[in-house]
Amino acid sequence: MNAAAPARNDAIREYWNHRIHDLEISRHEPGTAGFFADLDEYHFDKLHHLLRLVDFEGQRGRKVLDVGCGTGVDLVRF
C-alpha cells in the first residue's frame, strides 16, 4: 500500500460525510430511526419490485457484500 492511500481514504470519507445521499427525502435528522424509516418507505415505494425479486429473508445471517453508494436501506433487510 502506498503512503497516499490513507490520506485518499480520509478525503473520500470526508467527501461523503458532507454529501449524505437523499437528505431531501426525510424530514428527520440524518442517522435517526425516523430518517431511515422515511428512506426505506421512499426507496421501496419506488422500487417495490425488489421485495419480490430479492429474497432478503432467505439470506438472513449470511455474509453479504454491499457494493454501491447509498444509505444501506437494502443491506439492513438481510
- The tens digit of pLDDT for each residue in 36-74 reads 999 999 999 999 998 899 999 998 889 888 887 678 888
Asked if the structure places residue 30 within a domain, the reply is yes
Asked if the structure places residue 11 within a domain, the reply is no
Q: CA–CA distance from 57 to each of 37, 49, 66 (Å)?
A: 19, 15, 16
Grid cell locating 40: 426505506
* pLDDT score for 26: 92
Q: Tally the domains of the chain.
A: 1
| Residue reference for cell 424530514 | 27
What's the pTM value of the predicted model, to 2 decimals?
A: 0.65
Domain housing 27: 23-77
Q: Which stretches does DSSP call E strand in 1-78? A: none
How many Cα atoms within 13 Å fall on the side-chain side of residue 58?
5
Identify whether the C-beta of residue 36 lies closer than 8 Å to the C-beta of residue 71.
Answer: yes
Give the list of residues 6+ apart from residue 34 with CB closer than 8 angstroms, or none.
Answer: 26, 27, 28
